[in-house]
Structure 1
Amino acid sequence: MTAFSLKDVHLTLNAKAGRVDILRGVDLAVESGQSVGVVGPSGSGKSSLLMIMAGLERATAGEVLALGHDLTAMGEDALAGFRRGNMGVVFQSFHLIPTMTALENVSAPLELAGVKDAFARAKAELKAMGLEGREDHYPAQLSGGEQQRVALARASAPRPKIVLADEPTGNLDSATGAAIVDALFDLQKRHGATLVLVTHAPALAALCDRVIRIEDGRARETPEAARDAA
């Protein structure tokens, strides 16, 4: 099955200085189970492309299919339901709920999905991320690396078919970032998920099955993309 099929995708935003073309006709197909690194200069549209693939940003034009579903035709509620059932999204800034413990943060999407053993599954995911004994800690009581592990556990707990990660090591030191990378690829393998990873790190992109470079709003696949990434 094809996880993603993007055809002639455009994204244009209106700014005070006029229209800004972020993406200019991106074509991309990603097969289920693949890992894809997305690289390119700052401001090239990498994160915008990921947000479109997650249904968190609307393409101005073009077709965006995820697991055969047309994201451009869905309303906000349908998109939220589709993400909840099929996607795990990991951000650079963690986006944990500060008033919830680690266990509550991970179990929240499971409870929304009506999973009966939400807390047991959330606890198991935290253990898999090396956070056993930290379940009752709030985000402010955790290190940056621990917070990102909680975010990974939250993404992993619904057992998603697709994992989308936007600079997941960007706020971490090199040693902690390496541990998060290991956890991210372990998450993908445990669920047989498709992984799309936006990164500035050439070594991280090179771990993926494929590397896509975004430049001037367009995408091209090249084995040199990871080495040349800024």
Structure 2
Amino acid sequence: MSDTIIELEGLKLSLPSAAGLVNILRGIDLKVARGGTAGLVGPSGSGKSTLLMVLAGLERPSEGRVKVAGEDLTRLGEDGLARFRRDHIGIVFQSFHLVPTMTALENVAVPLEFAGRPDAFARAETELRAVGLGHRLSHYPGQLSGGEQQRVALARAVIGDPEILLADEPTGNLDQTTGEGIIELMFALHERKGTTLVLITHDEKLAARCGQVIRLRDGLVEQAEAGAA
């Protein structure tokens, strides 16, 4: 098995706008080690979130090669990309994206229910207890604090034991103390499950905790360096 889980070559992505074609990613070459941690930093508009969407198979590149978890995403159709996400990827966004009419337990169980897993609810309870929400299983998102909702979202992202966890500013809607708690949970889950963690952040100290720090500017990798990990 390769020790590289993400490999990008000449990655470009352009999207139409009212002002014409916008070049968001302009030729990215990048490798991320299997089981490692990578912090993506850069100013707003540098392409960080778009890059994460490409890694998740939610955006198609205009040019280049995108190999993630052994799959060449440019060769997959929509059904193939959906299976790829189900089998390999967990995603945590700044906004929690929980279903308001479902309990915490139901929200977390959804991915395994769609996969036809009979143990969906048992696994969901295990993951919620792992993030400290064993006492909130039957609560709805509207009954939970922001930090609790993000922990539910994190439990949902990792319930399928993804090889890669992608996190896009996961503490952006949280206060500092609550956000720090979410980050500690993410690194603990990375350690416990051996998941590769790719994290977008504006926090330089947080990025430096990662084994690799990737700096984007104007749709290009300005610098890729080792972090403190």
Match of 2:135 in 1: 133
Give 1:222 deviation, angstroms. 4.2
Corresponding residue pairs, total: 226
Match of 1:85 in 2: 87
Structure-to-structure mapping, 1:20-169, within 5 angstroms: 20-169=22-171
CA contact (8 A) 1:11 1:59 kept: yes
Q: Structure 1: 5+ residue runs without aligned partners?
A: none
What SS is found at the alignment partner of 1:214?
A: strand
Give 1:114 deviation, angstroms. 2.1
Q: Structure 2: 5+ residue runs without aligned partners?
A: none
Deviations along 1:142-173, whole A, 9 cap, x unmatched?
Answer: 00000000000001111111100000000000
CA contact (8 A) 2:37 2:211 kept: yes
Match of 1:188 in 2: 190
Q: Which amino acid aligns with 1:90?
A: V
Please, what TM-score do these two structures have when normalized by structure 1?
0.95
How far apart in 1 are the matches of 2:227 and 2:17?
A: 30
Q: Which runs of 4+ in 1 moved over 4 A?
A: 222-226
CA contact (8 A) 1:212 1:225 kept: no
CA contact (8 A) 2:45 2:218 kept: no
What SS is found at the alignment partner of 2:49?
A: helix
How far apart in 1 are the matches of 2:34 and 2:191?
A: 12
Q: Which amino acid aligns with 1:197?
A: L
Q: Which amino acid aligns with 2:95?
A: S
CA contact (8 A) 2:169 2:199 kept: yes
Give 1:201 deviation, angstroms. 1.1
Please, what TM-score do these two structures have when normalized by structure 2?
0.95
Backbone CA RMSD of aligned residues:
1.4
How far apart in 2 are the matches of 1:216 and 1:224?
A: 21
How far apart in 2 are the matches of 1:117 and 1:215?
A: 44
Match of 1:9 in 2: 11
Give 1:82 deviation, angstroms. 1.0
CA contact (8 A) 2:211 2:226 kept: no
Q: Which amino acid aligns with 2:112?
A: L
CA contact (8 A) 1:11 1:21 kept: yes
How far apart in 2 are the matches of 1:21 and 1:155?
A: 30
Moved more, 22-31 or 217-226: 217-226
What SS is found at the alignment partner of 2:186?
A: helix
Q: Which amino acid aligns with 2:9?
A: K
Moved more, 145-154 or 68-77: 68-77
How far apart in 2 are the matches of 1:41 and 1:71?
A: 27
What SS is found at the alignment partner of 2:66?
A: strand
Moved more, 175-184 or 187-196: 187-196
Moved more, 122-131 or 71-80: 71-80
What SS is found at the alignment partner of 1:181?
A: helix
How far apart in 1 are the matches of 2:114 and 2:132?
A: 25
Match of 1:217 in 2: 219
CA contact (8 A) 1:96 1:105 kept: yes
